Every structure is written in C-alpha cells, then in structure tokens.
Amino acid sequence: MEIRIVPISEGEKKAKYTDESQLGFGRIFTDYMLLVEWKAGQGWVDARIKKYEPFQIDPAALVLHYAQEIFEGLKAYKWEDGTIALFRPEMNARRFNHSAERLCMPEIPEELFVKGIEQLVALESAWVPGSEGTSLYIRPAMIAVEPHVGIKPSDHYYFYVILSPVGAYYAAGFNPVKIMVEDKYVRATPGGTGEAKTGGNYASSLKAGLEAKKKGYDQVLWLDGVHKRYIEEVGSMNMFFAYGDTIVTAPLEGSILRGITRDSVITIAKSLGLKVEERKIDVNELMQDLKSGKVTEAFGSGTAAVVTPVGTLCYADETVQVGNGGVGKHTQKLYDTLTGIQTGKIEDKFGWITKVK
C-alpha cells in the first residue's frame, strides 16, 4: 500500500525542544503522525502521514466503552555518524498482530507497519535526539472508532503512529530501583489478556503502583493471578534474576507480555556464555535465595527503560537487599551490550538494526 504524505506549512509546525537533557518521557510529540483506516468490507485503506492533531471521534466509539485498543512501543536512535536506526521493528509488528488477534481486531500487514514507521521517522528525522540516553519513542496504536453502544468487534478502526523524543524513563537513570512484591492485586491470569499489549492491563495496574509509591517503592512486582505465588512482571517490564552465571526469568505461559527486550536480553546473555533458565520462580524461595546470597542480581527489561537494575525487594513487609544493592556485573554488561547495539557503538551480530533511509 502506498503511503501518501499530507504536508503541513512551516507555520503549523511546533517549536522544537532546545535542551535534550530536559526531555523527560512521553510529553513532547512531533509534527506528523501516520494514520491508516480499516473498514469492514474494504480492509486497510487511505494510509497517510499527516499533521499530528486530535482525533474527532463519536462519543459512542467502541474504544471508549469496551476498550478495543492495542498499542506497541519501540525506539529510533541517532548514531554518532548521523544514522537513524530502529531496533527490531518487525518484532513489534508481530506482537502487535498477536494482540490484535486476541482482541478480535484486524491484523495489519507487517510491511505496512514497518514501512510506515520508517517513512514517518525519516520525515521527522530532525526530532530524533542524539545525546546519551535519549531516543525517539515510537507509539503505534489501534482503536475501534465505530459508533455503537454494544459489545462487538468494530467495523471501523484507526491504526496510527505518533512519535515522542525522550530521555531516560526513570529520572534517576541507570541506577538500582526499589521494588515491592504485590500480594493483594493481580495483573493477569492465564487465558486473559496478559500477553496482549492492551491499555486495560495498564489501567488495572495503577492502584497497586500508586500504593507502592506511597510506601517509597519505584515499581510493583506482580505474582501470578491463580496462586499469588510465582513471579511474573515488574511494572511494565519482564523480570530477571541472576544466580551467579545463570539468568532466570519467568516462562511465557499466557499471562506475561512477550517482551522484545526480554528476547534480546536472553539472546545476548547466551552469546556471553551465561546460562538462561525460563522457569517458575516461587516468591518464598526467591526471598530465601536473596537472603542467602544465591541471587546475586535482579533487573527488569523493557523498551522504555531498556534494562533497570533492582537494588531492594520487599515482600510481606520484609525488605531484602539484592547482592550489594548496586548494579551487578551481568546487569551492567547486558545493558552496555544492548544499548551499544542500539546506538551503533557495538556491532550488531544479530541482525536487529533497521537503518532509516
């Protein structure tokens, strides 16, 4: 499908940021967006890159009432030589369609997803920051816009992509965070929407996250929704624990998001000679292993924060330190390697980089 560009005038363009150290995360948006529509009986139609502006949708739009909505997150990086690179966009396309299938939404052709993002980022290349720790965050999303107050798949959808120049996800940057294990609320259960990237999963996590922050913690570590016993995700990230040279993470069994950064971390860890185990992690055993020193490091992984070290963990009002409370050697190496590939400082031996032309 051809993607047409609807140009905007210089007077319509926004004032660009001047200080990359003050970008924050997800508050500034570029001039253009990608928009493609899906209509029953027609399929995907009218792909265009147009002015970033509010949608005008009907108050009865299905997304507003029954939450037919999915999204993705990926980044573009500006290398020292000026190259702009995307990291594994085809994986985001596949996960996006996995989410779409779960929520009875139309799948978008992978080529349209990737090429649309490439063209949009190329057009907005001046917005890609180049300072250490910065990137252009890319948010593809799909929403149901048919006006109908009735529970059914929509006959009309918007697929769109917006761009946001960002700094570090956590204000403290790459430093250990404090995590509280949530033993009251649950994020997802097998057979639910836990492995789909849909907004309802995140809305339902807010209450636990706010309560954890009131107690001085940065994020919530979720337990499984059936037994409230096995480790699942931390906040919006996948969770890893290092037992010396063995990296352990929870298996993908339907309630955990198939993290692209998770997959990248596992691949890099194996390439570095580390052993990786995907298995259930009992929270009670984990606490004992932390106290005994068997667990030497802990970290989360996700698109926004990449790799985030964990310094302390609290469960059932008992707080334990992870290792020496600092950044572990494997955590540091994995972070350095992954960000090095993303920013062009380390050779990409895995074929993960797509250069924007």
Domain annotation covers residue 274: yes
Contact of 218 with 247, CB cutoff 8 Å = no
Residue 156 shares a structural domain with residue 81: yes
Residue 214 shares a structural domain with residue 327: yes
The segments of the chain whose pLDDT lies below 70 read 171-172
Q: Which residues pair with 225 in a beta bridge?
A: none
Residue 199 shares a structural domain with residue 242: yes
Domain annotation covers residue 64: yes
Distance CA 180, CA 327 (A): 18
Distance CA 114, CA 95 (A): 13
Distance CA 199, CA 240 (A): 24
pLDDT of residue 236: 84
Residue 158 shares a structural domain with residue 254: no
Residue 92 shares a structural domain with residue 229: no
Distance CA 297, CA 291 (A): 12
Q: Which residues pair with 297 in a beta bridge?
A: 242
Residue 335 shares a structural domain with residue 187: yes
pLDDT of residue 118: 98
Domain endpoint, select from 166, 199, 225? 166
Domain annotation covers residue 33: yes
CA 352, distance to chain mean position in Å, is 16
CA 91, distance to chain mean position in Å, is 12
pLDDT of residue 304: 87
Task: Report the CATH number that the domain containing residue 266 is assigned in CATH.
Answer: 3.20.10.10
Residue 162 shares a structural domain with residue 184: no
Give strand ranges (E) for 40-169: 43-51, 69-71, 74-78, 84-87, 135-144, 156-166
Domain endpoint, select from 99, 134, 166? 166
Residue-number span of the structural domain to which 277 is assigned: 177-342
Domain annotation covers residue 349: no
pLDDT of residue 172: 65
Residue 189 shares a structural domain with residue 294: yes
Residue 99 shares a structural domain with residue 213: no
pLDDT of residue 170: 74
H/E run at residue 219: strand 219-223
Q: What is the pLDDT of residues 139-151, one digit of tens each?
A: 999 999 999 999 9
Domain endpoint, select from 135, 166, 197? 166
pLDDT of residue 171: 66
Domain annotation covers residue 350: no
Task: Determine phi and psi for 21, rounding to 5 degrees.
Answer: -75, -10
Counting the structural domains of the chain, the total is: 2
Residue 92 shares a structural domain with residue 192: no
Domain annotation covers residue 352: no
Domain annotation covers residue 59: yes
Residue 251 shares a structural domain with residue 311: yes
